Structure 1
Amino acid sequence: MATDWLGSVVSINCGVTLGVYQGEVSSVDHGSQTISLRQPYHNGARCPVPEVTFSAMDIKELKFLDIQNTVHKPTAGQTAASEPGFLSAGCHAQSNRTTRSHATSNTAHSSTAPITILRRVPTGPSNSRGTAQTTPRRSNLRNGGAGGPVRTKDDECFGDGTDEDLDTDFDFEGNLALFDKAAVFSQIDGSSSHGNKAQHHSTHVEQKPLSYRHDENILEGKPVTYRQITVPQHGGKEYCTDSGLVVPSVPYDLHKRLLAAAERWGLTLERRLETIGVCSSQMALTLLGGPNRLTPKNVHQRPTVVLLCGPHIQGAQGISCGRHLANHEVEVFLFLPNFLKMQEAVTSEVSLFSRTSGKQVASMKDLPVSPVDLVINCLDCHENPLLREQAWYQSAADWANQNRAPVLSIDPPVSEQHQTVEAKWILSLGLPLPSSKKDSRVYLCDIGIPKQVYQEVGINYHSPFGCKFVIPLHTA
């Protein structure tokens, strides 16, 4: 009965290693348990040999795709009964009605075209993955069958016949429906219209709101008035802050009347000394390196500061600064000569300074020989300019100029003469005095004078400090 199946088109699945073969049955041998296919296709590609023979041991599944003269042929069940020897090796034959209708429509090409069992991709859009089956991969088998010639790598990659007479067409409409070009451009342009792209771009630019930086105010306000401080007596020089506010200088007489008015309202000398000491020490700590220098892991490199002070108010301000620096683990040397008479404020500050780790010296020989990190100059006095002629003052000034450390002068007096100690920074109090030192950078310190105290001496005052207590001033 094996001759009844000659000429039938079958599909033989030989597993993952050998793959799937399709072709026309040319012979069936009961003795050797083999079946041969004519004009075979291997995994959808035409084999280079005209015939392939399979053993029953290699066949995992056998399907009849097209049975010629089905009226005179037995059914799949009868074949299983009449071919017990062939099917006993593990082959399972069945009728593929789903593919039969497809193969019948291509009867004219049944002997020459490859038989595919791929389902056509639906034309409607679908977001689910895996709805369409892909073409099976080419097997690693390098020959077309048992005893077939070995194919080269070029034939395996670029061999002809792989795209011949494919029965499944690419679904262009279904794939095009997955990409909505109008919706994509609408999302890019921020508009739902589908007009001209250039017109959309110009409209988008016109309607784009203004963008602001993180430090800009989005609320419209009044124009900024940069001259917010006016004085009845001008010192002859003007400065400006980083934000552009104008800060005029005042003569020493007006500055002295301002401090006297503040003291009448309760801002005593002791309170001013403490405020000046805190602000000047903060500036000094910043000049020394701030958090990059003063850390617990850097105790072996403690900064060294030398304070040069006289027996007056300016000297007391420097001693207060040195006390705060010593409290912040800075190595402080205080130079203060032994005077027979010192102001009470100086004596009080020296008493507090003696309770710190700072060192007080009365001779220049006791100061460090090597360069230090910073020198704070408080030698000068507003009331007594003749101190410059004394020996202790001149020796201290010479030491500061010979030491290569930068100098910070706190509240220096107004002088048209050349400065004795070359200062890199000058710290003014409240309002700046007209300094003639062109090479020094001027800073302003807030000493806590209320606004109405300024008004009492005729100064229209608006604080230029903002969120800081010490700000830099630039020559206007």
Structure 2
Amino acid sequence: MATSWVGSVVSINCGPTLGVYQGEVSSVDQTSQTISLRQPYHNGLRCPVPEVTVSAMDIKELKFVDIQNAVTKSTSGQRTATEVTSLHTGRQNNRSSLPSFPSSSSNPGTAPITILRRVPTGSSNSRGGTQATHRKNSVRNGGAGWTMRPKDDECFGDGTDEDLDTDFDFEGNLALFDKAAVFSQIEEKNGNSNRAHHHNSHAEQKHPSYRHDENILESKPVTYRQITVPQHRGKEYCTDSGLVVPSIPYELHKHLLAAAERWGLSLERRLEMIGVCSTQMALTLLGGPNRLTPKNIHQRPTVALLCGPHVQGAQGISCGRHLANHDVEVILFLPNFVKMHESVISEINLFSRTSGKQVSNVRDLPMSPIDLVINCLDCHENLLLREQPWYRSAADWANQNRAPVLSIDPPVSEQDQTVEAKWTLSLGLPLPLVERESRLYLCDIGIPNLVFQEVGISYHSPFGCKFVVPLHPV
């Protein structure tokens, strides 16, 4: 009797602890009440051992899957032959099962038996696996039993173990990707879109793009050479906006200032204008709003002015007065001269009413580096001042001090500068100065356009919204 079960495919449920075993019956021992399975599966996975023996004490439920006979066998020994008439194929999956039939045994404890049939290899509904799976009965709304597939069986019931031993072939799958063909298709699409865009660009003109500082309204062509001087043979400079500013000789510059005085731009008014412009530039060089704040009053910048007894010296003193009014510590160097220009005396009287300090000896100047040195020692009319002892001592002090130097209205000279300046400030129109490492700036001193025309200069202001603009050599 026991040998008749050999070769049958069974599914043994040993409870939640041991799980479910499936396989082909290899032997049944009635004495020890055990059953052995060949090529067993445990919970849907192939066991690492070729044979498993299960005791009858551990068996909770036993299901037979007999492919040859297709009959249902109960654990009580009763056998009921049933002819299989149809195959359930309602859902397209890798398994098909027969409807479940309850056992005809009179023993109420006997569990229902379900017969499962494996789909042959090569079927359109098969994934190549030959493992038999089962379905459990479930009662819906107390009615008839329907075959339902549990979630665990859906996820783990397929025979996927056949592909576990095979590594994924990355190189082979990468070789299937034809890079050249894909990129050729992309380039072809881009080429078609570019040709379409090129075709459309002829149909409608592309609107130009503008910068934030460009005007979108159509206007006349820009003329960058708006200043012309008679018999110009000197140097030329340009502003940041590209306007050309030519240089003029000192004699023409002198006639221009004289014409402005005849029309009411006196020396005193010119000195005030130069003092304001040079102060504005000096405050910017000292740090501007980042340095001159109420919270930084304990670190006031220090500026030394080196002035001579002439108009250029008066310009420097005017600058020092405005700097002192802006909380800058100013030290004015001016030797004790017997004869000085009237404008210098007037500016000294005003400077004495500020918090600035005036010294007449180089020894009284600070020995430590300061923030800025303003040089107004030179004169256009008298270049022999460079030979004076006070001039040499002041120039030596400025060169030894590590502070940067701003030179205001220096004269035209072929000789080297006695004080190396980092910045140079010219008035009205620049003079043809010798090219040095000094950066050139130009300040507006308030001369009207008709005054320029009176001396033969066609003039249009290059300053824009500023009073001091940088100049670059052309």
Which TM-score applies when normalising by structure 1?
0.61
d(CA) in 2 for partners of 1:56, 1:355: 121
d(CA) in 2 for partners of 1:273, 1:57: 120
Deviation at 1:235, TM superposition (A): 6.5
Matched, 1:84 2:109: yes
d(CA) in 1 for partners of 2:289, 2:365: 27
d(CA) in 2 for partners of 1:463, 1:240: 13
Deviation at 1:307, TM superposition (A): 0.7
What pairs up with 1:33-72 in 2 under 5 angstroms?
37-42=37-42, 45-52=45-52, 68-70=70-72, 72=81
Preserved contact between residue 103 and residue 113 of structure 2 (Cα < 8 Å)? no
Preserved contact between residue 307 and residue 313 of structure 2 (Cα < 8 Å)? yes
Size of the alignment, in residue pairs?
A: 408
d(CA) in 1 for partners of 2:327, 2:30: 104
What pairs up with 1:172-321 in 2 under 5 angstroms?
196-197=188-189, 199-200=191-192, 203=195, 224-232=222-230, 234=232, 236-242=234-240, 244-259=242-257, 272-288=270-286, 303-321=301-319
d(CA) in 1 for partners of 2:62, 2:262: 114
In the other structure, the counterpart of 2:131 is: 114
d(CA) in 2 for partners of 1:340, 1:59: 131
Preserved contact between residue 66 and residue 104 of structure 1 (Cα < 8 Å)? no
What pairs up with 1:398-413 in 2 under 5 angstroms?
398-413=396-411
Letter paired with 1:428? S
Preserved contact between residue 11 and residue 65 of structure 1 (Cα < 8 Å)? no
Letter paired with 1:47? C
Preserved contact between residue 11 and residue 20 of structure 2 (Cα < 8 Å)? no
Instruction: Say what the alpha-carbon RMSD is for the aligned residues.
Output: 5.7
d(CA) in 1 for partners of 2:346, 2:56: 114
d(CA) in 1 for partners of 2:211, 2:33: 85
Any idea what SS the aligned residue of 1:473 has? Answer: strand
d(CA) in 2 for partners of 1:431, 1:94: 114
Q: Deviations over 1:151-205 (max 9, x none)?
A: xxxxxxxx9844599xxxxxxxxxxxxxxx99x999x77xxxxxx3574486489
Letter paired with 1:69? V
Gap runs ≥5 in structure 2: 73-79, 83-98, 135-152, 167-180
Deviation at 1:346, TM superposition (A): 4.4
Any idea what SS the aligned residue of 1:399 has? Answer: helix
d(CA) in 1 for partners of 2:287, 2:310: 30
Any idea what SS the aligned residue of 1:247 has? Answer: strand
Q: Deviations over 1:127-151 (max 9, x none)?
A: xxxxxx996599xxxxxxxxxxxxx
What pairs up with 1:3-22 in 2 under 5 angstroms?
7=8, 9-10=10-11, 22=22
Letter paired with 1:433? L
Any idea what SS the aligned residue of 2:313 has? Answer: helix
d(CA) in 2 for partners of 1:82, 1:23: 27
Deviation at 1:49, TM superposition (A): 2.5
Q: Deviations over 1:322-370 (max 9, x none)?
A: 3454456544321123456666654565455456553222222210123
d(CA) in 1 for partners of 2:14, 2:227: 97
In the other structure, the counterpart of 2:366 is: 368
In the other structure, the counterpart of 2:433 is: 435
Deviation at 1:314, TM superposition (A): 2.4
Deviation at 1:311, TM superposition (A): 4.0
Identity %: 67
Which TM-score applies when normalising by structure 2?
0.61
Deviation at 1:255, TM superposition (A): 2.8
d(CA) in 2 for partners of 1:475, 1:202: 45
Preserved contact between residue 10 and residue 25 of structure 1 (Cα < 8 Å)? no
Deviation at 1:320, TM superposition (A): 3.5
Preserved contact between residue 100 and residue 113 of structure 2 (Cα < 8 Å)? no
In the other structure, the counterpart of 2:143 is: none
Mean Cα deviation higher: 298-307 or 365-374: 298-307
Mean Cα deviation higher: 297-306 or 465-474: 297-306
Preserved contact between residue 235 and residue 433 of structure 1 (Cα < 8 Å)? no
Any idea what SS the aligned residue of 2:397 has? Answer: helix
